[in-house]
A and B are shown apart, each in its own frame.
Chain A
């Protein structure tokens, strides 16, 4: 379970470019939930994800992952609990290292690393098995450099790496946005499969409202650094993009009313 409470973060505080990215953002993700997050540009989606991962530290508020307060911890100290797949397919893997070396890095995510050989024989079975589930033939190319793989293949491996060891939450940051439509569909299907098979708790940021409704168990919309609506279960079933837009307009209208109330 992951609980974010009243997160606030302002970039460039005290400068003319001051930009409040998170304005009292709160969200609780329960065990086994697959939450899709949507929002327009600048809504705070990526900032929220970076705050959860530890890449940016929040000004105030708390982040609790599995009953541990991680608010002040840097990325590498959260990595044992938080797994991540980046938007850039090249960002999640090391192109100069072989496929098996990348997987060996991931299998020790968040654990102590010693002086024993990194690519151990006892991992091979697991590596081959998980790679063969991708149906890309990569299980026979363990020694190949990651850089030889296409963007889609690399993103599929990134996904595999993020799910190789257990985590409290899997963060997916528009991880299909940089892929061509066919590859994007493949990676998305793979994402759903892995999350369902391993019963992972996941948070997926996406630009596509359609995608946000098609996959997952719950959808959250962000606007101006806050959650504007949060739907799951029956309310979410059968919902279409136009319904989402309506909801959004309604919520936005409400927030304007709030402002006028405050100012009046």
Chain B
């Protein structure tokens, strides 16, 4: 079984990846824009926040700057797609590759340790809570606020226009929606969320590293798809809750898999486990419905 600390650790990381899943929901689901920029904007957020904290900035200002940096990265991807007509997937890969260099430039070295620096978490440690519970509390608040803001946005006139852009671009244009602008705005907001996740991750782990973005897209997708398998995303608010639930389940599943000694799994097996979990999450809902239809047909 999981120790209490491992459990809280999994939930803490799950909450951070919930923010990534929000971003991926926005690009993949709402805009139908397969965006791999997140593998670069996650460490970008971490790098910007870490560098600014080292410069002595207020950690919340540093985190806000990380959001803006993520948004800029997303905007670059979308502009490559919308204005230069580069295939969306390819545009995001180009930005992702470019960000590797950008992130090294931002940090000036491959990694920055934040040990002993004041982070957004520091003031919260004075609360009467166990050390490992503090990040869970703070990140729960952050993700709740993000969820409410995103939900309100999706229900707004602009948000509805964005949903129409992804679902039926021809209809959206005929309704006077500037679909290109919507894609740029949406992918920017999406990567802003991922930048926020990166900044929080760096502060909770106490370091920013240029390689920390590898596979973020897969983890985010795993959270999104897993969450959708548990909670049917029939409304926006359900879809957003599914993102958070999926991310936490994913991290817990990974923690269990690595902790179950009889499985003999080790940390280096993480990516393999992820791939297996994503495959299961994609396949299982289909298996379930075909089983149900087979059973009901037999009855009839």
Contact = CB atoms under 8 A, between A and B. Distances in A.
Interface of A: 53, 55, 74-77, 79-80, 83-84, 86, 91-97, 101, 104-106, 108-111, 113-119
Contacts of B164: 94, 97, 105
Contacts of A101: 160, 163
A96 B160 CA distance: 11
* Residue in B160, B164, B173, B174 whose Cβ sees the most chain A Cβ within 10 Å: B174
B173 A76 contact: yes
5 contacts: A79-B173, A79-B174, A94-B168, A118-B160, A119-B155
A115 B156 contact: yes
Interface in B140-174: 153, 155-161, 163-164, 167-168, 170-174
B178 interface: yes
Given A105-B160, A114-B156, A115-B157, A94 B167 contact: yes
Given A114-B156, A118-B156, A93 B173 contact: no
Contacts of A53: 174
B167 A97 contact: yes
Nearest to A110: B176
Nearest to A98: B235
A115 B153 contact: yes
Contact of A91 (B157, B170, B177): B170
A119 B163 CA distance: 14
A118 B157 CA distance: 4
Nearest to A83: B174
A115 B173 CA distance: 19
B176 A114 contact: no
A74 to B, nearest CB: 8
A76 B280 CA distance: 42
Contacts of A93: 168, 171
Given A76-B179, A93-B168, A113 B158 contact: yes
A76 B178 contact: yes
A97 B178 CA distance: 19
Main secondary structure, interface of A, reads: loop
Per DSSP, are chain B's interface residues mostly helix, strand or loop, or mixed?
A: helix
B174 A105 contact: no
A77 B176 CA distance: 6
B175 interface: yes
Given A114-B158, A115-B158, A80 B176 contact: yes
Contacts of B155: 117-119
B5 to A, nearest CB: 42
Contact of A96 (B163, B174, B178): B163
Contacts of A80: 176
Interface string B170-205: 111111111100000000000000000000000000
A113 B171 contact: no
B167 A75 contact: no
Contacts of B178: 76
A114 B173 contact: no
Contacts of A76: 172-173, 175-179
Contact of A109 (B160, B163, B176): B176
B234 to A, nearest CB: 8
Interface string B83-120: 00000000000000000000000000000000000000
A91 B171 CA distance: 6
A202 to B, nearest CB: 15
Interface string B121-148: 0000000000000000000000000000
Nearest to A162: B174
Contacts of A116: 156-157
Given A76-B179, A80-B176, A92 B171 contact: yes
Contact of A118 (B159, B167, B176, B179): B159
A145 B178 CA distance: 24
Nearest to A93: B171
A108 B157 contact: yes
Given A113-B158, A114-B158, A115-B158, A75 B173 contact: yes
A168 B178 CA distance: 20
A97 B234 CA distance: 10
Contacts of A83: 174
Contact of A105 (B153, B156, B170, B175): B175
Contacts of B175: 76, 79, 105-106, 108-110
A145 B107 CA distance: 48
A108 B174 CA distance: 11
Nearest to B235: A98
A187 to B, nearest CB: 17
Contacts of B176: 76-77, 79-80, 108-111
Contact of B163 (A75, A84, A97, A111): A97
A75 B178 CA distance: 9
A114 B168 CA distance: 20
A144 B118 CA distance: 50
A74 B180 CA distance: 11
Nearest to A88: B170
A91 B168 contact: yes
B163 A113 contact: no
